[in-house]
């Protein structure tokens, strides 16, 4: 049933409800737009709705924002763009490979190997830190490498205990998004500062923030792309295998082009996440690589809520995403698989 | 030489054995069809030859190479899939030439091979199209073109015609046969359709539950099926079976079934069948070897429940000797449901099977 088949009163009410909902969702956006053109007096002096009738629009908020009086607008915008695009691209690329592997190959990880990893990682860190007197970051690195090596070696033996399969691995990935990000943000900040002491500056650098975003986007990317890859007809890949096409070429030459709509959708979701992310940006940057959400929040200054400049900054943060979504959604058309199989 | 040999090949998925030890030799340039009901292991066998499934044990040889442990790409087979499995983002020409392009063949050579394949398969006008702009038959021809340019040792077909409509299927049947005659390459072809198997194969391999029931040329399968399964599987409409036993009658040995069925054994088969006297056997007769009773051949009474007028002849479906029975009548025969007719069996075409193990008795 669709709205088109409705008749008479039913049709009228359905349309009215839809229009009401449209107004309800569009009004905040409209309010932000007109607020950004109001003068400070116009904002605090009670609600006004229609430009030129209710109030005289001014460009004060915009000129303040663009001239840099309200924070380094241009560098922030550029930082957001670079970090957003590259983190979304890298996360989609790496996550797709992981997702493809999880769909097409069978993994068997013994639970005991995972336990060995955890025990060695924690135990090794404590050992290095408290008994051998090694620095924090160095102990972390040693413990991690030892744990990884031992768990990989141990997985070669037929250890007793349950065996984890692909679904368990995917669940493990997704489970990383279940705890509150603030838990990780603190730990990450500490780790980054320790790394900084070793000479690898990560706080307030491009790589520091990008790494964090890639790590936190991967679970979602893997989860989404796994479903897209699982829906692909395996015969197409088998045909290529029989035709002696190398695996990497099957992935890049056949699988990725076939899942283009999925890749773009995933890229878009990741980009939206990274673009709007606030917490990590707050912890891991301070000036040079600050992103737009920090700038918007920064408009809420000591002088009180300056809604006019918050509105202008918020619009600047919204518009690029609207444009991106508009451009990419045209590429997201379905039906790309048409003709591959019956 | 591209003979294919499977020696003691088995396949298990976990604890489930789908192929018990299987031996099969496919001669060079032979067109072999693996046929059987779904789940009989025919596709698994094909995929093991292709390398898409690893054999659990045993040895697979193509020509004089042991390919058991080789990955699919190194076996020099081409495979055509039931659902075409084309690359949807490439044109027809790119689809056909992709394998060569990946292997680094010079462009001029690829173009030549693609043009030649397109000429053989009548795809010349569609080379620039994407698969989505083609019909089912054309798509399957593209898949076959992709297989041809590989110049493989063996062609593997996995139910390639199952997704086509009936008319196109018959056309493509002929095309694939012609292609085999032209290319002179070994073909292993999997289908569940016994008509397709009979019409295309040099040799048909009838499979059931992972075992080979009988491997022979189509006429041998039809005329002397080795057991009940093959007898029932080959031929449409299916062979009639009446249970009973071999007894000694007044004028020599007779087959006795329920409802007073009594069929004298023809004199020339008495010596072959006499060792089985007194045993439970099954009489098999194909509908096309029955007719309205007249003359000296043995006859049985058929209680008709339905008739199927097919044009050239009419099928009378009903019960005889306690079993479902289909008899073939001349088109002008006036029979209807609830009629009772005497049906004559062609004594020369009768088959006898042991009830205990289903094996055919010697002729």
Selecting from B71, B89, B136 the residue whose C-beta is nearest the C-beta of A257 gives: B89
Interface check A333 vs B, CB under 8 A: no
* DSSP state letter for A197: H
- Give the pLDDT score at A331: 74
* Whether A100 and A114 share a structural domain: no
Interface check A165 vs B, CB under 8 A: no
Q: Which pLDDT band holds residue A181 (cuts at 50, 70, 90)?
A: confident
- CA B87 to chain A, closest CA, distance in angstroms equals 6
Q: Could you tell me if residue A319 is inside a domain?
A: yes
Interface check B70 vs A, CB under 8 A: no
Q: Which pLDDT band holds residue A9 (cuts at 50, 70, 90)?
A: confident
Q: Are B181 and B69 in contact (CB under 8 A)?
A: no
* Whether A232 and A318 share a structural domain: yes
**Which residues, in sequence order, are bridge partners of residue B253?**
B248
Q: Could you tell me if residue A341 is inside a domain?
A: no
- Give the pLDDT score at B273: 86
Residue the block writes with tokens 């292709």: B50
* Whether B197 and B301 share a structural domain: no
Mean pLDDT, chain A, rounded, equals 88
> Which residues make Cβ contacts (< 8 Å) with residue B303, sequence separation at least 6?
B318, B319, B320, B338, B340
By the 10 Å C-beta count (0-12 exposed, 13-18 middle, 19+ buried), A290 is classed as buried
**CATH code of the domain in which B153 resides:** 3.40.50.300
pLDDT at position A89 over 90: yes
Q: Which pLDDT band holds residue A286 (cuts at 50, 70, 90)?
A: confident
ipTM metric? 0.87
Ranges of residues in chain B whose predicted pLDDT is under 50: none
* Whether B19 and B141 share a structural domain: yes
pLDDT at position A302 over 80: no
Six token digits for residue A327: 């451009």
pLDDT at position A225 over 60: yes
Q: In chain B, what residues touch A258 (CB-CB under 8 Å)?
A: 87-89
* Whether A230 and A323 share a structural domain: yes
* Whether A232 and A127 share a structural domain: no
Q: Could you tell me if residue A112 is inside a domain?
A: yes
- Give the pLDDT score at A109: 87
Q: In chain B, what residues touch A246 (CB-CB under 8 Å)?
A: 73, 102
| CB-defined contacts A:B, below 8 A | 99
* Whether A121 and A160 share a structural domain: yes
CA atoms of B40 and B43, how far apart (whole Å)? 8
Q: Which residue of B has its CA nearest to A240?
A: B99
* Whether A158 and A227 share a structural domain: no
* Whether A222 and A92 share a structural domain: yes
pLDDT at position A199 over 90: no
Q: Could you tell me if residue A318 is inside a domain?
A: yes
Angle (CA) B95-B190-B168 rounded to 5° is 65
The string of pLDDT tens digits covering residues A164-176 is 899 999 999 889 8
Angle (CA) B230-B234-B240 rounded to 5° is 85
CA atoms of A259 and A268, how far apart (whole Å)? 14
Q: Which residue of B has its CA nearest to A247?
A: B73
Instruction: State which of A118-127, A135-144, B270-279 shows the largest mean pLDDT.
Output: A118-127
Six token digits for residue A92: 């989609």
* Whether A234 and A88 share a structural domain: yes
pLDDT at position A1 over 60: no
Q: Are B54 and A225 in contact (CB under 8 A)?
A: no
- Give the pLDDT score at A342: 61
> Under DSSP, is residue B190 helix (H, G, I), strand (E, B) or coil?
strand
Q: Which residue of B has its CA nearest to A257?
A: B89
Q: Could you tell me if residue B359 is inside a domain?
A: no
* Whether B83 and B150 share a structural domain: yes
Interface check A335 vs B, CB under 8 A: yes
Q: Which domain holds residue B82?
A: 4-228
Six token digits for residue A142: 């040693």
* Whether A99 and A240 share a structural domain: yes
Q: Could you tell me if residue A150 is inside a domain?
A: yes
Residue the block writes with tokens 């380094």: A72
- CA A91 to chain B, closest CA, distance in angstroms equals 24
* Whether B192 and B314 share a structural domain: no
Rg (CA), chain B: 25
Q: Could you tell me if residue B119 is inside a domain?
A: yes
**CATH code of the domain in which B313 resides:** 2.40.50.140
CA atoms of B285 and B84, how far apart (whole Å)? 39
| Boundary (domain end) residue, out of B174, B201, B228 | B228
Six token digits for residue B246: 């071999």
Q: Could you tell me if residue A132 is inside a domain?
A: yes
Return the beta strands (E) in chain B as ranges: 4-13, 16-26, 31-35, 57-62, 65-66, 77-80, 154-158, 186-191, 203-208, 211-216, 240-249, 252-257, 262-264, 280-285, 290-292, 299-309, 313-320, 323-330, 340-345, 351-354
Please give the backbone phi and psi of residue B274, each rounded to the nearest 5 degrees, phi first: -60, -35
CA atoms of B33 and B186, how far apart (whole Å)? 11
Interface check B129 vs A, CB under 8 A: no
Mean pLDDT of A14-19: 92
- CA B94 to chain A, closest CA, distance in angstroms equals 12
Mean pLDDT of A88-95: 96
Check residues A38 and A20 and name the one with the higher pLDDT.
A20
Q: Could you tell me if residue B363 is inside a domain?
A: no
Q: Which pLDDT band holds residue A143 (cuts at 50, 70, 90)?
A: very high
Q: Could you tell me if residue B362 is inside a domain?
A: no
Q: Are B189 and B328 in contact (CB under 8 A)?
A: no
Q: Which domain holds residue A315?
A: 72-107+172-180+198-331
How many structural domains does chain B have?
A: 2
Q: In chain A, what residues touch B96 (CB-CB under 8 Å)?
A: none
Is the link from the previous residue into A84 a cis peptide, with omega within 30 of 0? no
| Boundary (domain end) residue, out of B206, B228, B250 | B228
**Which residues, in sequence order, are bridge partners of residue B4?**
B26, B62
The string of pLDDT tens digits covering residues B63-88 is 999 999 999 999 999 999 999 999 99
Selecting from A242, A245, A257 the residue whose C-beta is nearest the C-beta of B79 gives: A242
Q: In chain B, what residues touch A336 (CB-CB under 8 Å)?
A: 88-89
pLDDT at position A335 over 80: no
> Under DSSP, is residue B69 helix (H, G, I), strand (E, B) or coil?
coil
Interface check A56 vs B, CB under 8 A: no
- The Cα-based distances of B96 to A192, B147, B236 in angstroms read 52, 8, 37
Q: Are A238 and B81 a contacting pair at CB < 8 A?
A: yes
> Which residues make Cβ contacts (< 8 Å) with residue B355, sequence separation at least 6?
B243, B279, B280, B281, B282
Helix (H) or strand (E) run with residue B49 in it = helix B42-50
Q: Which residue of A has its CA nearest to B164?
A: A342
CA atoms of B296 and A249, how far apart (whole Å)? 72
């Amino acid at each position: 049933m669709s709205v088109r088949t409705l008749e008479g009163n039913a049709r009228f009410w359905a349309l009215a409800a839809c229009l009401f909902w449209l107004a309800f969702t569009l009004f905040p956006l409209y309010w932000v737009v007109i607020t950004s053109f109001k003068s400070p007096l116009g904002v605090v002096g009670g609600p006004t709705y229609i430009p030129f009738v209710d109030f005289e629009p001014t460009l004060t908020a915009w000129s303040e924002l663009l001239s840099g009086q309200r924070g380094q607008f241009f560098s922030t915008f550029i930082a957001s763009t670079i970090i957003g695009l590259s983190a979304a691209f890298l996360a989609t690329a790496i996550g797709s490979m992981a997702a493809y592997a999880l769909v097409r190959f069978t993994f068997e990880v013994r639970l005991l190997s995972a336990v060995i990893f955890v025990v060695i990682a924690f135990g090794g860190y404590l050992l290095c830190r408290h008994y051998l007197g090694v620095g924090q970051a160095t102990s972390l690195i040693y413990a991690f490498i030892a744990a990884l090596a031992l768990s990989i070696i141990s997985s070669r033996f037929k250890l007793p205990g349950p065996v984890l399969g692909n679904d368990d691995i995917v669940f493990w990935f997704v489970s990383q998004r279940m705890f509150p990000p603030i838990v990780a943000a603190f730990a990450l900040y500490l780790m980054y500062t320790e790394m900084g002491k070793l000479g690898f500056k990560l706080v307030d650098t491009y790589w520091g923030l990008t790494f964090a975003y890639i790590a936190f986007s991967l679970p979602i990317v893997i989860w989404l792309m796994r479903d897209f890859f699982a829906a692909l007809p395996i015969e197409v890949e088998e045909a290529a295998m029989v035709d002696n096409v190398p695996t990497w070429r099957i992935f890049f030459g056949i699988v990725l082009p076939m899942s283009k709509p999925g890749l773009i959708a995933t890229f878009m979701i990741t980009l939206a996440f990274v673009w709007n992310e606030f917490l990590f940006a707050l912890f891991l940057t301070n000036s040079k690589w600050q992103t737009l959400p920090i700038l918007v929040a920064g408009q809420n200054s000591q002088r009180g809520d300056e809604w006019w400049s918050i509105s202008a900054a918020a619009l600047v943060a919204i518009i690029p995403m609207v444009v991106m979504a508009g451009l990419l959604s045209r590429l997201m058309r379905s039906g790309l698989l048409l003709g591959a199989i019956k | 030489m591209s003979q294919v040999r499977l020696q003691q090949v088995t396949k298990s998925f976990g604890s489930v054995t789908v192929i018990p030890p299987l031996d099969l030799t496919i001669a060079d340039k032979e067109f072999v069809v693996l046929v059987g009901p779904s789940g009989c292991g025919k596709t698994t066998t094909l995929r093991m030859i292709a390398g898409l499934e690893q054999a659990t044990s045993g040895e697979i040889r193509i020509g004089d190479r042991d390919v058991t442990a080789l990955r699919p790409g190194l076996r020099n087979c081409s495979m055509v899939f039931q659902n075409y499995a084309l690359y949807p983002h490439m044109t027809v020409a790119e689809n056909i030439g992709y394998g060569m392009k990946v292997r680094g063949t010079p462009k001029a050579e690829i173009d030549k091979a693609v043009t030649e394949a397109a000429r053989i398969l009548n795809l010349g006008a569609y080379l620039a199209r994407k698969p989505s702009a083609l019909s089912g038959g054309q798509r399957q021809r593209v898949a076959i073109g992709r297989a041809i340019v590989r110049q493989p040792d063996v062609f593997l077909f996995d139910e390639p015609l199952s997704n086509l409509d009936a008319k196109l299927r018959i056309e493509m049947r002929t095309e694939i046969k012609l292609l085999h005659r032209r290319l002179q390459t070994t073909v292993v072809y999997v289908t569940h359709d016994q008509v397709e198997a009979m019409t295309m194969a040099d040799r048909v391999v009838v499979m059931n539950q992972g075992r080979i029931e009988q491997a022979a040329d189509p006429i041998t399968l039809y005329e002397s099926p080795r057991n009940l399964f093959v007898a029932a599987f080959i031929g449409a409409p299916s062979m009639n079976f009446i249970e009973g036993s071999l007894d000694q009658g007044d004028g020599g040995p007779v087959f006795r079934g329920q409802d007073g069925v009594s069929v004298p054994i023809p004199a020339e088969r008495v010596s072959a069948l006499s060792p089985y006297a007194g045993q439970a056997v099954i009489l098999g007769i194909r509908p096309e070897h029955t007719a309205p009773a007249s003359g000296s051949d043995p006859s049985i009474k058929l209680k008709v429940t339905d008739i199927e007028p097919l044009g050239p002849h009419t099928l009378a479906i009903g019960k005889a000797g306690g079993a479902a029975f289909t008899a073939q009548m001349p088109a002008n025969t006036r029979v209807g449901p609830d009629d009772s007719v005497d049906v004559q069996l062609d004594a020369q075409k009768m088959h006898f099977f042991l009830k205990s193990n289903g094996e055919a008795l010697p002729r």
